[in-house]
Amino acid sequence: MSTCFRGAITVAAGLTLLPLVAMADAGLPQGERAPPYSEQAAYAEASRDLLASLTFSPLNRPSYASRTSDLMYLDNGVVLEGGDLETLDGHTSGFRVTAGFSPADLPHLDLGAEFTYRESDEVPTRYADQAMLVNTTTLGGSLVAGVRMGRFGLYAKSGFAEWEGDPVTQGEPLYAAANGTARIQGFGARLQHNRLVSRLEFEEIDAPSMAHLNLITASLHYAF
């Protein structure tokens, strides 16, 4: 970097900071002088302010957001959440995407819309008193509302799911293939104490054929 270019940057930075120095002098008591300006100190302070603006406190996470999900904060205030869905038995996998925001006059209220996609393989079920295995596909959409009260958060969801099930083998009756629409409902709670976060969640799809997607989860997370 040439000497002239460095000098130009220094002059531009000084002109930018002059209004700030003037404002600081105006706020001092009469007869007192402002401390000498330090370029290194000003740069360090600006860096701290920038990092603070880019760092989101865990308490600012939406009440419905999981600790294992990824969050994206948009400039318009919308928070996007995405994460994978998988059951312990390995039959079901999918993903969940949520878009939410907090009203400006109600910063502790979380409102959002959730979209889920699930695929289940070889789920045991019964049809007309006959045991069989089916593959199911489910698309769901829900409205989510939650509230954050300090370290404690509550939320609830309600929506609908479109599902389709097909028998695994051709030997099973074709009339066993079915589809339909069912209601989704659920609620959850989150409690944070320092680095320890506990979470409880319940979700139900009101359809006998989709009983394998109903879930009750409890988790503890500790951030190192």
Domains of the chain, CATH where assigned: 3-54 (no CATH), 58-222 (2.40.160.20)
Please give the pLDDT value at position 222.
Answer: 78
Please give the pLDDT value at position 53.
Answer: 42
Token pair for 9: 């940057």
Please give the pLDDT value at position 116.
Answer: 95
If pLDDT is split at 50, 70 and 90, which confidence band does 36 have? Answer: low
152 contacts 126 by C-beta, under 8 angstroms: no
If pLDDT is split at 50, 70 and 90, which confidence band does 91 have? Answer: confident
Q: What is the mean pLDDT of residues 160-181?
A: 74
Q: Own/partner pairs for 21-28, CB < 8 Å, 24+ apart?
A: none
Q: What radius of gyration do the chain's Cα atoms show?
A: 27
Taking the whole predicted model, whether its pTM rises above 0.75 is answered as no
Token pair for 50: 């920038």
Question: Is the pLDDT reported for residue 157 higher than 80?
Answer: yes
If pLDDT is split at 50, 70 and 90, which confidence band does 118 have? Answer: very high
Which has the higher per-residue pLDDT, 153 or 132?
153
